[in-house]
Amino acid sequence: MPIPVPPAIESASDDALMDLFRQGRVEAFKVLFLRHIGLVVRYAASLCGNWETARDIAQEIFLKISQCAGTYAGQSKFKSWMLTMTRNMVIDLKRRKTTKTVTIPDNPDHWAPFADPKNPADGVSIEASMADWLKGLSPEQREVTLLKHVEQLSYAEISEITGIREGTLRQIVSRALRQIREEAGTDAL
Amino acid sequence: MPCNTYLEWLDTPASESGSLPEYIARHLSACRDCRQAHAEIQALRTHCARMSPDSNEALRLWESLAPLIPAQPAAPSGQPAGTVQPAGSASTVVKASAAISTPVGIGPVVILAAAAILIGVIEYGLSTVRLQPSSQLKDQISRTVTSAPPDVSSAPSVLQRHVPAKPASGSLPATGNPRPESVSASPALPVSDPERTVRPPEPSIEPESPAAPLTAPPAGSSSTSGDGDVLTDGFVPMTAPSGGRD
């Protein structure tokens, strides 16, 4: 049975939605889920290197959030709290060495773009080069660069999620972009 | 050496707003390197967005997750529980359990505290009786005997054995003492009863008790010596090899 979502809830902030969910309103949690599932999947994929595993992780994350909603007191932004939880879960999965978790260096073709005939060919070629650049980055560079330039988080938020100081984050991103630029200058476009 | 103006701008907090400032937009139109870098960043975002679930897949994921989401208790402020969770299901259970758990949580503590106090009072009373000066004990005995003769049978044996010594308590004959068997069984206690091993310090509590009254108690004496005899009389048969005084 589908859960109806009032229009007013869809525009509420994350913290307000969490408050509503703690009051028993599951439709508020549905809005949170639909709002952030893509972010969690992308971040989990950047960490574990497998989109299918990333989807499973994202579902686990939202189930965990629903179970421990009472512990979220709003000290940090909901997005940072959620991504920190995601990062910890991926780290736990890597430690357990599950068969479903495949690291990016072990599966370099995973970042290849989908062949979409609706998109122009040059867009696909840029994505292809982007996949190559992502493969060439270290896991740390890829994680931080994606959080910064794809998810467009601030350095403060990334620092809160990863536990890396902001100055170090700037160096990581700068080095990653320089590496991308060097590769793009030689063989891309 | 490629131009890094756009990438340097990306590294500043100003880029976190997501919108290009005008000077960067102008630079992008003029600089091929930065335009290329901008296209690469946009391609990266497009690529990652395409790989992530779309709205249909997100809904499908939600439908598979929704049955597993635990119901949250309703707000205590009386706000409506929403359209999904029926009012009075989980909240009623929580309120009922809270109403039950409050006395259950305090009750054992109260009972334990009362029991501890009761035990303490009993211990204090027993220690008072054991260590009470002989004169006070005798007065207490006389009060007990004279004021409540019918209850003497329920008094401790130590007190009852003082009754024959009191001339005023004629209503309580010495032969009526219902405790002979308990005294006769007492000689075995000094060997096996661990309580006896604790008792030895007790005589040292009353060092003033003369030894003479133990052997020759003056009849009708109301002094401490006579009472000391009576008090220790309860212990002497315990150490006697056999044949209690009763």
Contact at CB, A177 and B91, closer than 8 angstroms: no
Per-residue pLDDT reduced to its tens digit, A96-110? 765 454 444 444 445
| DSSP assigned state of B89 | S
Count Cβ neighbours within 10 Å for each residue of B28-65 and write b for 16 or more, e otherwise.
beebebbebbbbbbebbbbbbeebbbeeeebbebbeeb
Give the pLDDT of residue A48.
82
Indicate the pLDDT class of residue A185, thresholds 50, 70 and 90: low
Residue B110 has pLDDT above 80, yes or no: yes
The tokens for A104 are 């990016």
- Say what the pTM is: 0.52
Mutate to test the interface with B, among A23, A33, A52, A170 (most CBs of B within 10 A): A23
Residue A35 has pLDDT above 90, yes or no: yes
Indicate the pLDDT class of residue A172, thresholds 50, 70 and 90: very high
As a whole number of angstroms, the distance between CA A170 and CA B2 comes to 20
Question: Quick one: CA torsion of A51, A63, A72, A96, rounded to 10 degrees?
Answer: -60
What residues of B are in contact with residue A178 (Cβ under 8 Å)?
Answer: 4, 7
A106 burial type by CB count under 10 A (0-12 exposed, 13-18 middle, 19+ buried) = exposed
Within 66-85 of A, beta carbons closer than 8 Å to B belong to 66-67, 69-70
How big is chain B, counted in residues? 246
Count Cβ neighbours within 10 Å for each residue of A119-128 and write b for 16 or more, e otherwise.
eeeebbebbb
| CA A123 to mean position of chain CA atoms | 22
* Cross-chain CB nearest to B69 (options A26, A114, A178): A26
**Under a CB-based contact definition with an 8 Å cutoff, are residues A150 and B48 in contact?**
yes
| DSSP assigned state of A112 | P
A153: left (phi over 0), alpha (psi -120 to 50) or beta: beta
Give the pLDDT of residue A10.
81
How far apart are the CA of B38 and the nearest CA of chain A, in angstroms?
11
As a whole number of angstroms, the distance between CA B188 and CA B196 comes to 11
What residues of B are in contact with residue A24 (Cβ under 8 Å)?
Answer: 71-75, 81-82, 84-85, 90-91
**What value of ipTM does the predicted structure carry?**
0.73
